Amino acid sequence: MTPRPFRVDRRTEEYPGAFTLHLTAIEQPAPAFSPGQFNMLYAFGAGEVAISMSGRPQQLEGTTVHTIRTRGLVTAALARLQEGEQLGVRGPFGNGWPLPEAKGRELLLIAGGLGLAPLRPVIYHLLHQPRPRAIPNFRLFYGARRPGEMLYGTELQAWSHEMPVITTVDHGDSAWSGEVGVITTPLKRADFDAHNAVAFLCGPEAMMRFSIQMLLERGMPASAIYISMERNMKCGTGLCGHCQWGPNFVCKNGPVFCFADVQNWLGIHAL
């Protein structure tokens, strides 16, 4: 429960209002994590927030990486941190993405906006699998509001040489020659075997609901669809009840849930 001190080694601006912090543990190396898990980041004097791991699962030299969008008080305090300054870190918490479920099947990664951050460790894992690959087929569908609000632009380019990367934006600009519209459009026409595929989704809840609807229409069973949920968090360990969602605590039972298990709650506004 006690935050450990970490130092900001590098701070990268993703786009105005979103940034990535590369952190190093000051006292002991950052613990290993599974893709989909999160840390509680403590900005001294401001408070603590849940932020997903977005770096490599095989952490290099004890570093941990987080991509954050500035929303309220705590994330604004994190945004003000400069290289060399310190913050507190607790974690990793949560269950992570069920990668074993995708073995021998096609894995569809579907991300909206900042939702690419919790999926990036999955992409690193998939691209660095030993050969023959346990998960041979995978592709990324990524939708953002504007071209300038796409995360990890250079990496997206590099990944597109190693795996199918399908991007779309809500609003294009003069430099954008790609697809304009919601992510469900490329998802609808994509050629995949819905009965032998698994989908990992992360993004705004509305985007996840529409994408799930499309996957179900394509014939994917609800048991093959996994989503990462965000709820207000305090302890991160299943003690305080802040993150209760239906019968689950998002911090302990999630943040990744199988859609088949939570479909009754996903559609209920403000639950």
Ligand X SMILES: Cc1cc2nc3c(=O)[nH]c(=O)nc-3n(C[C@H](O)[C@H](O)[C@H](O)COP(=O)(O)OP(=O)(O)OC[C@H]3O[C@@H](n4cnc5c(N)ncnc54)[C@H](O)[C@@H]3O)c2cc1C
Using CB under 6 A, list all residues that contact ligand X: 38, 47, 49-52, 67-69, 71-75, 114, 117-118, 230-233, 250, 255
Per DSSP, the residues of 186-234 read: HHHH----GGGEEEEEES-HHHHHHHHHHHHHTT--GGGEEEE-----S
Residue nearest to ligand X (CB): 72
Nearer to ligand FES, 144 or 251 (CB): 251
Residue 79 phi, psi dihedral angles, 5° rounding:
-65, -25
Query: Between 76 and 239, whose beta carbon lies closer to ligand FES?
Result: 239
- In 3D space, the residue among 91, 118, 136, 45 whose CA is nearest the CA of residue 237 turns out to be 91
Residue 38 near ligand FES by CB under 6 A:
no
Q: In this chain, which stretch among 64-72, 146-154, 236-244, 256-264 interacts with ligand FES, using CB under 6 A?
A: 236-244
Rounded to whole angstroms, how far apart are CA atoms 119 and 141? 11
> For 22, phi and psi rounded to 5 degrees?
-100, 115
Q: Which does 267 bind (CB under 5 to 8 A by kind): ligand X, ligand FES, none?
A: none
Helix (H, G, I), strand (E, B) or coil at 256: strand
Q: Can residue 4 be called a binding residue for ligand FES (CB under 6 A)?
A: no
Question: From the list ligand FES, ligand X, none, which binds 167 (C-beta under 5 to 8 Å, kind-based)?
Answer: none
Give CA–CA dist 211/198, Å, rounded. Answer: 13
Our CB check for ligand X shows the closer of 147 and 254 to be 254
Stretch that binds ligand FES, among 6-14, 23-31, 113-121, 235-243 (CB under 6 A): 235-243
* Residues within the interface to ligand FES (CB under 6 A): 233-236, 238-243, 249, 251
